Amino acid sequence: MLSRRNFTKRSLASFLLTALPSVVFAKNKIINYKLSAEKSNFNFDKNFTSNLWLYNHENPGPLLKANKGDILKVNFTNNLDEPTSIHWHGIKNINKMDGVPYLTQDPVQPGETFSYEFPVNQSGTYWYHAHFESWKQVAKGLYGPLVVNDKTDDLIEDDIVILADDWRLNKKYQIDKKSFGSLMDWSHAGRVGNWLTMNGKKSPQYSIKANSLARLRFINASNARILKFGSSLKNNNIIAIDGVTVKPMLVKDFTLAPGQRIDLLINSVDLLKVDFFEISHTKQLKAFTLNVTKANNKTRDITNINFTSNWILPKLNKAKIINIRMQGGAMGNLSKANFDGVEKDFRSLATEDKKLWAFNKEIGSYEYLLAKVKLNQVVILDVWNDTRWPHSMHLHGNHFFVKSKEFKDNIDYISRDTYLMQAGEKAKLIFLADNPGKWLFHCHMLEHAASGMISYIDVA
């Protein structure tokens, strides 16, 4: 098991064996970006300014774009006064570029730089965010969108990212620092905010062309809030989920748990404007508006665009089954669990260690090995959410198939990297372990992960 103490020593010793030279990517186009983590002032509203932590002083961070098959190279500088790292959420990444401190890289120290370089071989909607004390750093604003295009995107006139977040601000409209680490949040639903934004603004407006197709890429960057969206349209047309193209699904509304993404396609024929609302509560909130502007000369035929997934469910007859029982939290049934090799009762874990959640009665961390699997082995994560709370379960570096209960009329397998499991739900997450490395599996309610609902799977 890799500890923080010996990570640097092991990394240096194994560098020549694990480093991937640039010549490997010589035939691919390299897309260069620069990111810096900064303490920033940001105007949510003309009446006040908040102190945030942002990439390049932007909220959200800069939109990073590439084409399928490109190499993404991001030169990152940490201008904060504490360590950080960047995780590329949803990307089937090279393990040493995954951004998990002490597991795949040393955290980037204040004033230091680190170069992330990896191929993007899957098109779709992804995002990047801090992965060092992410429960705090993401809550302060360290995240941004990542879009990988393919030929299908050339047929769509307007492409708009909708990165949603809820912030917890105090009475002076600053990040509520006093509430960080609240046992109430960590043991319940997580850190839920009181200020909802779309791309850093309240109820922004965007323009799309008439008689055209528009793609909306929704990303939920909240620490813990589960968002639900509806619109003034009769139905919303889902064409991609967590970056993976799907057969179009018409839905009245849709839910996004933290870390999840959904793409919609809008045909603007006969439309003047479209209003979107956040409807998870009794009182719906105006999320944003699409205004339809100057018309094109002709109407786009949607049937010319192929919205089908090339992901194939692997054969399951020789699959390795990993049983995972999630326990803990308020009103839960976790009486005791192991933490750092010591069995402790739940009250002691909560009050002494701030650990509240467990997999198989083990309090997790970046160093908790859940299972070892062989390369190219089919794996079934047989997960039981035996808690009173929903959990947004995310697997790094891989997508998995799941018979999703997130869409009422869908009974097929869906390929996701983040799945919302309701209290008491049992689900099988199926993936082909064809990506070597140590990959985190954790709850993306970030306070739940910080307090024990986290582990890694070693693909040898």
- How far is 119 from 283, CA to CA, in rounded Å? 43
pLDDT 10s digits, 98-148: 999 999 999 999 999 999 999 999 999 999 999 999 999 999 999 999 999
Q: What is the DSSP string of 59-90?
A: SSPPPEEEETT-EEEEEEEE-SSS-B-EEEET
User: Which residues are CB-neighbours of 312 under 8 A, at least 6 positions away?
Assistant: none
pTM of this structure:
0.93
Supply the pLDDT for residue 112: 98
Domain parsing of the chain, residue ranges:
4-149, 158-304, 320-459
- Residue 19: pLDDT band (50, 70, 90) is very low
Please name every residue paired with 358 in a beta bridge, in sequence order, or none if there are none.
327
Supply the pLDDT for residue 309: 74
- Residue 24: pLDDT band (50, 70, 90) is very low
| Residue 302 predicted with pLDDT over 70 | no
The answer as to CATH 2.60.40.420 being correct for domain 320-459 is yes
Q: What is the mean pLDDT of residues 288-311?
A: 73
User: Which residues are CB-neighbours of 115 under 8 A, at least 6 positions away?
Assistant: 73, 74, 75, 76
- How far is 70 from 25, CA to CA, in rounded Å? 9
Supply the pLDDT for residue 155: 87
| Residue 10 predicted with pLDDT over 50 | no
The answer as to CATH 3.40.50.80 being correct for domain 158-304 is no
Please provide residue 443's backbone torsions phi and psi, each rounded to the nearest 5 degrees: -80, 135
In this predicted model, which residue has the larger pLDDT, 15 or 134? 134
Task: Measure the CA dihedral 454/93/382/239, to 10°.
Answer: 120
Q: What is the mean pLDDT of residues 289-297?
A: 80
Supply the pLDDT for residue 304: 61
Supply the pLDDT for residue 294: 74
Please provide residue 247's backbone torsions phi and psi, each rounded to the nearest 5 degrees: -60, 130
Supply the pLDDT for residue 298: 59
- The CATH number given to 4-149 is 2.60.40.420
pLDDT 10s digits, 403-449: 988 887 777 899 999 999 999 999 999 999 999 999 999 999 999 99
Nearest to 230 by CA among 165, 295, 274: 274
> Is there a shared CATH topology between the 4-149 domain and the 320-459 domain?
yes
| Residue 306 predicted with pLDDT over 80 | no
| Residue 1 predicted with pLDDT over 50 | no
- Residue 299: pLDDT band (50, 70, 90) is low
Supply the pLDDT for residue 387: 98
Q: What is the DSSP string of 133-190?
A: SHHHHTTTT-EEEEEEE-GGGGG-SEEEEEEEEEE-B-TTSSB-GGGTT-HHHHHTT-
User: Which residues are CB-neighbours of 313 under 8 A, at least 6 positions away?
Assistant: 401, 413, 430
pLDDT 10s digits, 161-188: 999 999 999 999 999 999 999 999 999 9
